[in-house]
Amino acid sequence: MKTVRLYDTTLRDGSQAEGISFSSADKLLIARRLDEFGIHYIEGGWPGSNPKDIEFFSQARALGLRRARVAAFGSTRRAGVPVADDVNVVRLREADTAVVTVFGKSWMLHVKEVLRTSAAENLAMIRDTVRYFKDLGKEVIYDAEHFFDGYRADPDYAVKTLLAAEEAGADTIVLCDTNGGTLPTGIAEAMRAVIGLVRAPIGIHTHNDSGVGVANAVVAVGEGAVHVQGTINGYGERCGNADLVSIIPTLVLKMGIPCVERERLAGLTDLSRFVDEIANMAPWPRAPYVGASAFAHKGGVHADAVLKNPQGYEHIEPGEVGGARRILVSELSGKASIFMKAREMRLGLEKEGAALKNVLHVVKRLESEGYEFEAAEGSFKLLVEKALTRHTPFFTLEGFRVSVEKRADGSLISEATIKVKVGDLFEHTAAEGDGPVNALDNALRKALLPFYPSIADMSLVDYKVRVLDVKAGTAAKVRVLVQSKDPGAAWGTVGVSENIIEASWQALVDSVEYKLLRDKAAPATARKGRP
C-alpha cells in the first residue's frame, strides 16, 4: 500500500504569514503537538536567518519526540563560495538536526536575476551542498524552489537541477510551487515528466495564491508524490501554504492513503485550534473538515435530510476528525431543524406537536423582525422553554433609567438606575459603567446579586451591534448580540429594537435568565429586598 510522509513547515513557512510571530516557546509547544498527532517531519526554521530559530534547535533536542524528525532549513551555498565556508551552510550544520532541507533554484529567472550566476554554477551549488550534508550522515531533503515556473520556462534545465540533487544523494526531492500560480493540470503534467526521469522519491510543496494549494498537493500525490509539505491551517506567506488540516483527512478518508493512523484523525480539530490559539489567530469557521461551519446545517430541507440519513448532506462523519454536527436555527428552518436543535440542546421538544409548530412560527416571525438565533442559543432555549410553558421569569422589571454625563474635563460618566421585582420583593439600585450598556449591565447584576449569588461568576465577554436597515438612518433597527460565560459554559443572546439600549436590555435579560436557568437557581427572597 502506498504511504505518504507528512512534512510540516508551520514553524518556518507558517511563521512568515502576516500577523504571526512564534516565540521559541511557541514553536516547542507546536512541535510537541505535531509529534503527538503523527507528523513525520517538523521543519523548525532557518537557523541562518535569525537567533530565535537557533534557540529553537538547541532546545528541540530535549523534546524527546517519538514520531517526528526535526529538520533544519536553508539554502545552497552561495555562488563562488566553498560549501564548507558558506555561513548559511555552517548554521545548518550547527543546528545539529538529523534532517537537513536544502532549497535551490530551478528557474533561470532566479538563477540569472536573483543569484546573478550561471546555469552551470547553480547546478554545482546544488550538487555541492547536498553532497556536503550527505557526507555528514544527514537525511537530505532537496526543495526545488520555483520548480513549476522553471519547468514551464525551460523544462530541460529545471529537470537538470533535480538530477544534480539526485546525483549528490538527496533522499527526497520536493517540487515546489513557490509562487502558488500553477494549476492542477500543470502540476500533473510536470509530475508525470519528473517521475519518469528522477529515481529519488518525489515530494510536493504548494502555495495557495491561486486558491488551489490543497488541490495541487492532492493531485501530486495522485501522480506519484510520496512526501507532502504544508502547514497547519494553511499559514504561510502571502495567501498561505497548502493546508495539512485539509490534506491529511483527504488522503486518509478519500484516497485510502495512511499518512497518519486513522484513529488519530479524531484529534485533528483540536490540533487546528491549538495552533490557532498559539498563533493568536481566530479559527476560520468555514475551514474544511475542522471549521465551526463544516458540519452546520441551516436550511430546513438539509436538516430534514440529515435527520433521516446524515450522509445526505455530510461527506464524512464529523466525529472522524473530531468535529460535531450543528443545526442552525433561522428563518430558513423547518420543523426538522427546530426538532434537531432542540434535541441537541436536550429541550424535550416532541417531533410532532403544537409546541414544535409554535416555536417554528415564533422563530420565523422574530427573524423577519431582525432577530438571529445562529449565535444566540441562549435566547433560543428560552424561546422553547416559554413555548412549552415551562419557564417562569426569575425577575420582572419595574423600570430603569440610563444617563450619560459629559463633564467639562471631557470625561464621560454613564449611570443606570434600575428597579426589579423578585417574587414579592423589590430591589432598587444604581451603578456606573464605561458606557450606558455597561452601566445597565452592572446595575442589573447589582440588583439581582442579593437574590441570585451565582451571578457573581458570570461575565459578559463580547458585545456586537449591527444596524439592520442603514437606509433608515438613526431610526434604523439594530440587533445586539451578547456573548456571556461562566466557569462551565459560554452562550449567546440577542435583542432587536430601534433603540440600542432596549435591544441591549433584551439581550442582557436573556443572558441572565439563561444563566439562572442552567443553574436551576432559586431566589433567596426570604432575606433580601423590600416588600
Q: How does pLDDT run across 136-195, given as a tens digit for each residue?
A: 999 999 999 999 999 999 999 999 999 999 999 999 999 999 999 999 999 999 999 999
Are residues 96 and 167 part of one domain?
A: yes
Helix pair angle (24-37, 51-60), 10° resolution: 50
The answer to which of 259-268, 367-376, 402-411 has the lowest mean pLDDT is 367-376
Q: How does pLDDT run across 469-494, given as a tens digit for each residue?
A: 755 555 678 889 999 999 988 898 99
Are residues 333 and 475 part of one domain?
A: no
Cα 155 off chain centre by:
38
- Distance, in Å, from the CA atom of 414 to the CA atom of 407, rounded to the nearest integer, reads 11
Looking at residue 447, its amino acid is A
Residue 526 lies in a domain: no
Helix pair angle (500-519, 436-448), 10° resolution: 30
Show which of 260, 279, 305 is a domain's final residue.
260
Are residues 312 and 230 part of one domain?
A: no
Looking at the predicted structure, is the pLDDT value of residue 407 above 60? yes
What percentage of the chain reaches a pLDDT higher than 90?
Answer: 59
Helix pair angle (335-344, 354-368), 10° resolution: 100
HSE-up of 108 (CA within 13 Å, CB side)? 13
Looking at the predicted structure, is the pLDDT value of residue 348 above 70? no
Are residues 110 and 243 part of one domain?
A: yes
Looking at the predicted structure, is the pLDDT value of residue 527 above 50? no
Residue 284 lies in a domain: no
Are residues 300 and 250 part of one domain?
A: no
Mean pLDDT, all residues of the chain: 88
Contacts of 472 (CB under 8 A, 6+ apart): none
- Report the number of distinct structural domains present in the chain: 3
- Distance, in Å, from the CA atom of 106 to the CA atom of 163, rounded to the nearest integer, reads 11
Q: Which three cell numbers stand for residue 503?
A: 435591544
Check if the beta carbon of residue 20 is closer than 8 Å to that of residue 12. Answer: no
Contacts of 58 (CB under 8 A, 6+ apart): none
Are residues 326 and 226 part of one domain?
A: no
Cell 462523519 belongs to 317
Are residues 327 and 181 part of one domain?
A: no
Are residues 48 and 87 part of one domain?
A: yes
Residue 488 lies in a domain: yes
- Segment 271-277 mean pLDDT: 92
Residue 391 lies in a domain: no
pLDDT at residue 332 in the model: 47
Check if the beta carbon of residue 35 is closer than 8 Å to that of residue 63. Answer: yes
Residue 269 lies in a domain: no
> Which has more pLDDT, 410 or 479?
479
pLDDT at residue 50 in the model: 74
Check if the beta carbon of residue 443 is closer than 8 Å to that of residue 416. Answer: yes
**Burial category of 332 from C-beta neighbours within 10 Å (exposed 0-12, middle 13-18, buried 19 and up):** middle
Residue 227 lies in a domain: yes
Closest C-alpha to 36, from 4, 69, 67: 67
Looking at the predicted structure, is the pLDDT value of residue 462 above 80? yes
Looking at the predicted structure, is the pLDDT value of residue 297 above 70? no
pLDDT at residue 526 in the model: 45
Residue 279 lies in a domain: no
Report the CATH number that the domain containing residue 155 is assigned in CATH. Answer: 3.20.20.70
Write out 261-319 in H/E/C secondary structure: CHHHHHHHHHHHHHHHHHHCCCCCCCCCCCCCCCCEECCHHHHHHHHHCHHHCCCCCHH
Check if the beta carbon of residue 489 is closer than 8 Å to that of residue 454. Answer: no
- Distance, in Å, from the CA atom of 432 to the CA atom of 444, rounded to the nearest integer, reads 11
Q: Which three cell numbers stand for residue 129?
A: 551542498
How many other C-beta atoms lie within 10 A of the C-beta of residue 397?
14
The answer to which of 95-104, 200-209, 336-345, 404-413 has the lowest mean pLDDT is 336-345
User: Residue 204: helix, strand or coil by DSSP?
Assistant: strand
- Distance, in Å, from the CA atom of 428 to the CA atom of 422, rounded to the nearest integer, reads 11
Are residues 191 and 60 part of one domain?
A: yes
pLDDT at residue 467 in the model: 85
- Distance, in Å, from the CA atom of 409 to the CA atom of 406, rounded to the nearest integer, reads 8
- Distance, in Å, from the CA atom of 480 to the CA atom of 457, rounded to the nearest integer, reads 22
Closest C-alpha to 499, from 445, 436, 448, 438: 436
Show which of 328, 359, 382 is a domain's final residue.
382
Are residues 513 and 491 part of one domain?
A: yes
Are residues 10 and 78 part of one domain?
A: yes
Residue 531 lies in a domain: no
Closest C-alpha to 400, from 427, 373, 361: 427
Looking at the predicted structure, is the pLDDT value of residue 383 above 70? yes
Q: How does pLDDT run across 76-123, given as a tens digit for each residue?
A: 999 999 999 999 999 999 999 999 999 999 999 989 999 899 999 999
Report the CATH number that the domain containing residue 496 is assigned in CATH. Answer: 3.30.160.270
- Distance, in Å, from the CA atom of 316 to the CA atom of 511, rounded to the nearest integer, reads 35
486-491: which pairs have CB atoms within 8 A and are 24 or more residues apart? 486/454, 486/457, 486/458, 486/459, 486/515, 487/457, 488/518, 489/518, 490/461, 491/377, 491/378, 491/515
User: Residue 227's beta-bridge partner residues?
Assistant: 5, 203
- Distance, in Å, from the CA atom of 335 to the CA atom of 356, rounded to the nearest integer, reads 7
Q: How does pLDDT run across 13-58, given as a tens digit for each residue?
A: 999 999 998 988 899 999 999 999 999 999 999 886 678 888 899 8
Q: Which three cell numbers stand for residue 400?
A: 430603569
Check if the beta carbon of residue 62 is closer than 8 Å to that of residue 54. Answer: no
Domain that holds residue 333: 296-382
Are residues 161 and 69 part of one domain?
A: yes
Show which of 325, 347, 382 is a domain's final residue.
382
